[in-house]
Chain A
Amino acid sequence: MSKILWSSTLVPSADVTAKPYTSEYYGESLRIPMTKSLALEESKAPLPDRKVYRSMSRAGVLLSVVCLHGQQVMQPFLDKSPFCVGIYAALENGPVDLKSTREMIDVVRDDFAELYKKHRNPKMFLMQLPNLAAAQMGIFLGILGPLNVYNSSSYGSIHALEQAEMDLHESRVDAALVCSAFSFENPLILERIRRQTLQDRILCEGAAALVLTADGKHSDWKDFDYNTTESYYGISHQIITQIQKKGE
């Protein structure tokens, strides 16, 4: 039903050495032996709004960066109508503000409100909203079509691909921007990945975007063994793996 018109990935390069990961807040109780992160500082990310990084999770920043690479490909569709491109993003909830949480642990009830006001960054909660990150990316690109965000840690990428496929088939959109980003922001998600999914693979940060258009052929995104890869990219795994597979 669809063909990949354009794709891009943002993954650690092959020469990056895998390192163990431990959480600043959970210490050795959360340890992942092999991880690779992207060498990208949020405040220096090439985004159209320099201050937006204050209200976007790292994954949100990565999402915008990778999608902006496809601006020229999407522009002819957007020139026709900004409503004819849909966004299908797989992105987990952003980080909990563990720094301020640590400051507020064990305080007496009467002091809590004062400490909350003092320590909780007012923009922090914006980072937790995956919809906001995807919407912000859509604003950067001028996309006004349907916005779909999936935060299922294991299947978000598959959900995004399948919904895009369906909307293209039904002619609800002319082009589908399927995208995802994963970073090491939420220790609890990392722990779940370590226990259930990772096996001996390297856990990598990553982001990917592809533009799909209808072409009458059916793509079965599930018809692939995603478990035998060398690296694992969290919620972005299936999209990144599909793009890497096509590039082989």
Chain B
Amino acid sequence: MLSEKELFDKIEEAIRVVLNAPEGEIKKESMFKADLDAESIDFLDISYEIEQRTGVALDFNEALHYITEKKGADITDISVGDVFDYIIKVLQQKKENK
């Protein structure tokens, strides 16, 4: 079982590889569109890279649903921390279902 730091490092690496960002640029508070210049197809690519690294199949539609429930339906951007929180939730659900 990965620690939260290890999990974040893997997610950060996945995003960094896709967006070709320098080390240290991606933080929990980084916004995908505003700060990292991500486009819709990048989300697919990021979910692929996250799955390769963590084994968690990240469905961005479900993630967005989860995040809008938390932050409101009028959001236009999500942060790396939002995705991280969602993956934590998925892993907790997996654990509970075992």
Chain A residues proximal to chain B, CB less than 8 Å = 43, 50-51, 53-55, 117-118, 121-123
Contacts and interface: CB of A to CB of B under 8 A. Distances in A.
A121 B45 contact: yes
Nearest to B19: A51
Given A117-B57, A123-B45, 5 more contacts: A50-B21, A51-B37, A51-B42, A54-B42, A118-B57
A118 B19 CA distance: 20
Report whether over half of chain A's contact residues are helix, strand or loop; otherwise say mixed: helix
Contacts of B51: 118
B45 A50 contact: no
B48 A54 contact: no
A58 to B, nearest CB: 15
Nearest to B41: A123
Nearest to A123: B45
B44 A54 contact: no
Interface of B: 18-21, 37, 41-42, 44-45, 48, 51, 57
Contacts of B41: 55, 122-123
A41 to B, nearest CB: 11
Contacts of A117: 57
B17 to A, nearest CB: 8
18 contacts: A43-B20, A50-B19, A50-B20, A50-B21, A51-B20, A51-B37, A53-B20, A54-B18, A54-B20, A55-B41, A118-B51, A121-B48, A122-B41, A122-B44, A122-B45, A122-B48, A123-B44, A123-B45
B61 to A, nearest CB: 14
A53 B42 CA distance: 12
A51 B49 CA distance: 14
B43 to A, nearest CB: 9
A51 B32 CA distance: 13
Q: Count chain A CB atoms within 10 A of each CB in B20, B42, B44, B57 and give the residue with the most.
A: B20
Q: Count chain A CB atoms within 10 A of each CB in B19, B44, B45, B51 and give the residue with the most.
A: B45
Contacts of A121: 45, 48
Nearest to A117: B57
A123 B37 CA distance: 17
Contacts of B57: 117-118
Contacts of A53: 20
Counting from the closest, the 6 A-B pairs by CB-CB distance are: A122-B44, A50-B20, A51-B20, A51-B19, A123-B45, A43-B20
Contacts of A54: 18, 20, 42, 45
